[in-house]
């Protein structure tokens, strides 16, 4: 979970909490299923109710819904944004998952609002990015034309 959250630029305190909890669980001498069966998960340092619920869900089902949601891949059209100047894969994932930027029009509006420059990891020229968005929009429009 920590790595997925870090990729999506989640709250660093939350990422650190998941990492610390994972380390604590790995160091346990007792099987985690035994701890869960006696309702002792929250007695483990760094494990709160939310994480205890996720551990119990994993033990019951073999997966964690929240983790699976984080694994949902980006649409192909959105993945290509990482090739635009100043954008990286992790920044594109952040824009899509956290800011709900789902179309080139959304991305263009974000750039024009000058809010993208406040996003951690943006390292480019807004003007160059706007030009690249316009180029990509023209290409996609031609591809869709009959």
pLDDT given at position 78: 92
Q: What is the pLDDT of residues 48-70, one digit of tens each?
A: 999 999 999 999 999 888 787 77
Q: What value does the mean pLDDT of the chain take?
A: 88
Distance separating alpha carbons of residues 77 and 102, to the nearest angstrom: 9
pLDDT given at position 132: 95
pLDDT given at position 73: 74
CA within 13 Å, CB half, 60: 10
Where do the H-state alpha helices sit in 8-145? Answer: 12-27, 32-37, 49-61, 65-71, 76-79, 89-97, 104-112, 126-144
Per-residue b/e over 59-94, b at no fewer than 16 CB within 10 Å? eeeeebeeeeebeeebeeebeebeebebbeeebbbb
Residue with tokens 């943006």: 122
In terms of CATH architecture, what is 2-71? Orthogonal Bundle (1.10)
**The pTM is what?**
0.56
DSSP letter string, 2-18: HHHHHHTT--HHHHHHH
| Predicted confidence (pLDDT) at residue 14 exceeds the cutoff of 80 | yes
Q: What is the pLDDT of residues 82-119, one digit of tens each?
A: 999 999 888 888 888 888 899 999 999 999 999 998 88
Better-predicted residue by pLDDT, 11 or 126: 126
pLDDT given at position 90: 80
Better-predicted residue by pLDDT, 143 or 45: 45
């Amino acid at each position: 979970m920590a790595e997925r959250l870090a990729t999506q630029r989640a709250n660093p305190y939350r990422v650190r909490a998941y990492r610390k909890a994972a380390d604590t669980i790995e160091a346990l001498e007792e099987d985690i299923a035994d701890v869960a069966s006696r309702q002792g998960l929250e007695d483990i340092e760094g494990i709160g109710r939310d994480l205890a619920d996720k551990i119990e869900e994993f033990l019951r089902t073999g997966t964690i819904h929240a983790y699976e949601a984080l694994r949902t891949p980006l649409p192909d059209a959105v993945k290509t944004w990482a090739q635009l100047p100043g954008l990286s894969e992790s920044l594109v994932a952040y824009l899509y998952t956290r800011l709900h930027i789902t179309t080139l029009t959304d991305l263009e509006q974000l750039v024009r609002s000058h809010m993208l420059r406040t996003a951690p990891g943006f390292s480019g020229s807004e003007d160059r990015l706007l030009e690249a968005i316009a180029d990509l929009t023209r290409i996609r429009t031609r591809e869709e034309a009959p």
